[in-house]
Amino acid sequence: MSTATTTERRFQTVPPGDPNDRGGKAQPMLIVENLRKYFPIHAGALNRRVAEVKAVDGVSFAVLKGETLGIVGESGCGKSTLARLLMHLLPKDAGDLIFDGETVGPGSTLSLKDLRRNLQMVFQDSYSSLNPRLPVEESIAYGPRVHGASRSQAKKTARELLDKVGLRPDLFGARYPHELSGGQKQRVNIARALALNPRMLILDEAVSALDKSVEAQVLNLLGYLKRHFNLTYLFISHDLHVVQYISDRVLVMYLGQIVEIGPVDAIYNRPKHPYTRALLNSRLSMNPNERVETAPLVGDPPNPINPPSGCRFRTRCPHAEAVCETRMPSLGRSTDRAAHLAACHMEDPASGHSLAGPPATSLPPVQIRQ
Amino acid sequence: MADLSLDTSGVTASPRGRRVRGYWANVWNRLRYDYVTLFFLTLIILIILTVIFAPWLAPLDPNKSSMAYRLKPVFYKQFMLGTDEQGRDILSRLIYGGRTSLMMGILPVVFATMIGGFFGVLAGYAGGKLNMVIMRSMDVFFAFPSVLLAVAISGSLGGGLINQLITLTVVLTPPLCRVAETSTSQIRSMDFVDAARASGASTLSIIFRHVLINVVSPVFVYASTLISASILLASGLSFLGLGVSPPTPDWGLMLSTLRQSIYVQPLVCALPGVAILITSIAFNLVSDGLRQAMDVKA
């Protein structure tokens, strides 16, 4: 996992013959526009809505075809809520989701069932995400059965996929989840997600519960499957090293909002947002001489029920000024895969922040602002 | 990708692979070595067969009374277990009485499992307002002690077989509904239900394929413990005169009428109680064994 790898080499494009491609090469696989989800908090004898947790608050980004977009952030920043919103497992409060040029739902060209055939998810908890009372090959075959495959056809698909994820079907197919190890269960989960032949996978902390050696195996497996099935990944993790290893682009979240997005090398080598810098400084180094002596950031994230005004990071930011309290910094918009954007007043010369200068020429690529 | 086979490398496959064995086959496999459960299961089957074939097995007519043979002891002439206060053969009455008692043990539990299970799964899966309406209605029944509730319902409906059946079903439904609701809402929050939703499955398909299969064993086990409770409750109602009407033989009713003669023939008078005791213990121990055998992680 060295920082020297270049992003360009790992970019992939949709092969010209992909029969499922609808929008063309340049159309992002998934566009998220101003997505918002507030969870109400009810209290009192009348069960009134007294407050709301702003779990995902105005998030916009695009996932490009064939890329792996990593999402990082602290616990509770809205990563998993975002994943469930994208899967339509939670109803969204506001915003748009456009999958390969089509919106989802009634009145649009793409039904929810079609979306779910194209977009699948691997859950974090490999134990609770498999039905304890079904043999694993039946868990995998369930999706194809729902979409009209015959029993034998679904079973054949399941056994092929077990083989693809490195589990011998004759040995593992008939087993129950409690007869498998954590890594094996997660392989089954990946196979289950692939059973509908999706074009995009959301991996919500898919390797976080595994020990390091198994984690490496599963990451290699994910790389292999991505090439084999032409997949697009949305990889959610709190492990910065893993995200750096697997991602083409990285999106950093803080308190339900995006603070920075850009190519993995740009983010890891030249982070723009103070939060990203602090996050990266908190990584553990393999070199004991480079140990972190002081905490890069103090305090806890503010309460998402009542987030700070203006910039949400200002309460912990070493560079916070008056402007940060009054105005919320905006993240620019760009579907260019090389764009490196940060939601920080210091990046905007017009913001009035004392440290904001003209965009430094030494920091390519040039920011694209709306 | 060289490392894909790592997980299987240390494992030796049996040449024929692994046979796909269903869930119930696994349960039976665990039950096979549980001799206590097997013994009492056999006992229950014997009791059931006995009451089914009562006309052939009962030595005498259970309703034929004879003033000459009132309250005779065990092994008196042709009366193997003695006679009651009207000179009727106790053994024959016990065999016939088991029909009512077993029916009152099993049928209300079956009905209550169907009704309570339906509403419990509905409440547990739907959640929200529907859950509140269903479960709070059940709580109304929970507010009364079960015996008191049974006496109250039975008292207002009157005696008789059908009314006793209705009474017991009403009393047993709320606890079964609660068990079904609890395990359904537990399953509902597991990721595999979300994964099934994410694969585009309909709600009905998810309930049948993923929820019921996990809910059925706790409900089944709990229902089997209720059989003995139901037998006792039915006997209690009959004892109070709220169950079947004489001269129909029934264990609870027999106990009630023989009670006055306890100082004359203590052993004979205790026999209906012994029958109730053995049957309910057998059902309890079998349900305990089933609970262990049906635990998927055992």
**Looking at the domain assignment, is residue A329 inside a domain?**
no
Beta-carbon separation of A217 and B5 below 8 A? no
pLDDT of B180 reads 94
* Residue that wins the pLDDT comparison between A60 and B78: A60
**Looking at the domain assignment, is residue A164 inside a domain?**
no
Q: Which residues of B touch chain A, with CB atoms under 8 Å apart?
A: 1, 3-8, 11, 13, 17-21, 23, 190-192, 194-202, 205, 209-210, 213-214, 296-297
Contacts 24+ apart (CB under 8 A), A265-273: A265/A3, A265/A5, A265/A6, A265/A7, A266/A340, A266/A365, A267/A340, A268/A3, A268/A244, A269/A3, A270/A340, A270/A363, A272/A340, A272/A342, A272/A344, A272/A346, A272/A347, A272/A363, A273/A313, A273/A342, A273/A343, A273/A344, A273/A347
Q: Mean pLDDT score of chain B, rounded to an integer?
A: 82
Beta-carbon separation of B200 and A116 below 8 A? yes
Q: For residues A14 and A25, is the Cβ–Cβ distance under 8 A?
A: yes
pLDDT of B10 reads 42
Full set of structural domains in chain B with CATH: 27-53+75-294 (1.10.3720.10)
Q: How many CB atoms lie within 10 A of CB A309?
A: 12
Q: How far apart are CA A174 and CA A332, in angstroms?
A: 51
**Looking at the domain assignment, is residue A299 inside a domain?**
yes
pLDDT beyond 70 at A357 = no
A184 to chain B: nearest residue by CA?
Answer: B7
For residue range A311-347, what is the model confidence (pLDDT) as tens digits?
Answer: 888 888 888 888 888 888 888 777 777 889 888 888 8
pLDDT of B9 reads 43
Residue A143 sits at the chain B interface (C-beta within 8 Å) = yes
Confidence at B269, pLDDT banded by 50, 70, 90: confident
**Looking at the domain assignment, is residue A241 inside a domain?**
yes
As for how many domains chain A has, the answer is 1
- Which two tokens mark A215? 């984690």
B214 to chain A: nearest residue by CA?
Answer: A133
Identify the residue among B191, B202, B213 best suited for mutation to test binding to A, counting A beta carbons within 10 A and taking the highest. B191
Q: Mean pLDDT score of chain A, rounded to an integer?
A: 83
Q: Which residues of B touch A132 (CB under 8 A)?
A: 214, 296-297
ipTM: 0.80
Q: Residue A263 to residues A250, A364, B164, B241: CA-CA distances in angstroms?
A: 6, 11, 74, 83
- Domain span at residue A224? 10-130+197-304
**Looking at the domain assignment, is residue A316 inside a domain?**
no
Beta-carbon separation of B190 and A147 below 8 A? no
Q: How far is B197 from chain A (nearest CA, A)?
A: 7
For residue range A170-206, what is the model confidence (pLDDT) as tens digits?
Answer: 888 888 888 898 889 999 999 999 999 899 999 998 8
Strand partners, A235: A70, A203
DSSP type of residue B208: I
- Residue A265 belongs to domain with CATH number: 3.40.50.300
**Looking at the domain assignment, is residue A341 inside a domain?**
no
Residue A338 sits at the chain B interface (C-beta within 8 Å) = no
Q: For residues A115 and A99, is the Cβ–Cβ distance under 8 A?
A: yes
pLDDT of B7 reads 47
Beta-carbon separation of B3 and A217 below 8 A? yes
- Letter string b/e over residues A42-76, b meaning 16 or more CB atoms within 10 A of that residue's CB: eeeeeeeeeeebbbbbbbbbbbbbbbbbbbbbbeb
Residue A117 sits at the chain B interface (C-beta within 8 Å) = yes
